[in-house]
Amino acid sequence: MTLREFQTLIREMYHDKDAARGVEGTFMWLSEEIGELASALRTHVSGDRRDERTKEELALEFADVLAWLATIANVVDVDLQDAIGQKYGAGCPGCGQRACTCPDAEKP
């Protein structure tokens, strides 16, 4: 599935609810999912539960974050595939290289 296909799928499933909730409410859901991803990452890297269940939970949290990001993009009518291509298609936005050579202290 391409990013565009995924964004279209999310639009077909949820757009009416998402548009009614608006950007602010939808962003709050994204923030909650980012918090859940942070918690799953902490568990994963701590080594407490480095088993397949933890890796599966981690993958599901990444999927949730991506879905809520696609949701917000749909609400404001941004095509994520186009946006990513414009910003990152020619390489790092800071240095222009495929493998970033920007100083670590800089955010490209």
Domains and CATH numbers, the chain: 3-77 (1.10.287.1080)
pLDDT score of 29 more than 90:
yes
Q: How confident is the model at residue 66, as a pLDDT?
A: 98
Closest CA to 6 of 68, 93, 70: 70
pLDDT tens per residue, range 50-72: 556 678 889 999 999 999 999 99
CA distances from 44 to 9, 38, 54, 64, 107 (A): 29, 10, 6, 17, 26
pTM: 0.85
Segment 94-106, tens digit of pLDDT: 999 999 999 998 7
Query: What pLDDT band is residue 45 in, cutting at 50, 70 and 90?
Result: confident
Q: What's the chain's average pLDDT?
A: 92
Write the DSSP symbol of residue 98: S
The Cα–Cα gap between 8 and 13 comes to 9
Residues whose CB is less than 8 angstroms from the CB of residue 38 and which lie 6 or more positions away in sequence, other chains included: none
Residues above pLDDT 70, as percent of the chain: 93
